[in-house]
Amino acid sequence: MKLEPMDEFESELREAMLRWPAPPSLKRKLMEQRRQRAQHRHARAMWWQRIAASAVLAAAAGGAMVWHNAEQRRKGEEAKQQVLTALRIANHALEEMNVQLAQQRRYKQ
């Protein structure tokens, strides 16, 4: 019996639409894929967390270095001011000594 093209198409369509039972290993394969995807997501999240933690540590270390440098600069400026003050005091004392020496020379002459 020869089927007409439409009957053949309907037959193929009916056969394609038949419900076939899933292979027994399908559920296991799907669950394995799901587990692998979850592990991959977890690994990626851990990677990003490590990058974020590294960035925070680097920022903290950089901040500490900047603070330390600023503190050293402040101490250096403070020491500079102390030296300048000591030099002004010494200069003033030398000027007074020169005045006294000049007065003594005038009295001796």
Domain boundaries, the chain: 26-108
pLDDT, greater one: 89 or 109: 89
**pLDDT tens digits, residue range 39-71?**
999 999 999 999 999 999 999 999 999 999 999
**pLDDT tens digits, residue range 7-33?**
888 888 888 888 888 888 998 999 999
**pLDDT attached to residue 5:** 66
DSSP letters along 54-109, please? HHHHHHHHHHHHHHHHHHHHHHHHHHHHHHHHHHHHHHHHHHHHHHHHHHHHHHH-
